[in-house]
Amino acid sequence: MQGSLQLIAIANDLLGWMRSATAGVVVNDETLALDVVDELGPTGDYLSHDHTLRHFKEPYYSRLADKANYAQWVERGATTMEERAAQQVEEIIRSHQPEPLPPDVQRDIRKIVEREQARAASK
C-alpha cells in the first residue's frame, strides 16, 4: 500500500468542496427574511444589513485549484495541483505546533513504553 501526503491534501480540498456543495440550504422565516425585504424594499442596502452579516456564509474556496486564466497561471509559474499540494504539505509540516498531550495521557504512554521495554529486555 502506498501513501502520499500530497494526495491527502488534494483529497481534503475535494472533500471541503463536496461538503460545501452538499450542505443544502436552510429555508425558514429567519433565512427568508421577508421582514428585512419589507423594511428595505427593492432599493435597500442589503449587504450592510445586520441580517446579511449574521447569515452570510463564506463560499468554499479551494486552496489548491488554480482559478486564474491561462496567462496568469503561466505567469505565476504554471504549477500543477500536485505541486501546490506539496507546497501546502511543506508549509503545514514547517509551521504546525502540536498541542501537548494532557499529563494523564503522557503518563499512560510512559507506562506502556516502560512495560514494553521491560518485557523486551527480559527476552
Please report whether residue 104 resides in a domain.
yes
CA angle 13, 70, 64 (to 5 degrees): 10
Task: Say what the pTM is.
Answer: 0.61
Question: Which residue is associated with the grid cell 427593492?
Answer: 42
Confidence label for 1 from pLDDT (cuts 50, 70 and 90): very low
CA 76/CA 63 separation, integer angstroms: 15
Please report whether residue 48 resides in a domain.
no
Check residue 71 and give its pLDDT. 96
Please report whether residue 19 resides in a domain.
yes
- CA 62 from chain centre, in angstroms, equals 9
**Least confident window among 37-41, 43-47, 59-63:** 59-63
Mapped onto helix, strand or coil, the DSSP state of residue 59 is coil
**Half-sphere exposure of residue 29: CA atoms within 13 angstroms, side-chain side:** 1
Q: Which of 97, 99, 88 is nearest to 8 (CA)?
A: 88
Please report whether residue 49 resides in a domain.
no
Q: What's the number of domains the chain is made of?
A: 1
Q: Looking at residues 118-122, what average pLDDT do you find? A: 93
Q: Is the model's pLDDT at 59 over the cut of 80?
A: no
Domain containing residue 100:
5-27+57-121
Check residue 55 and give its pLDDT. 84
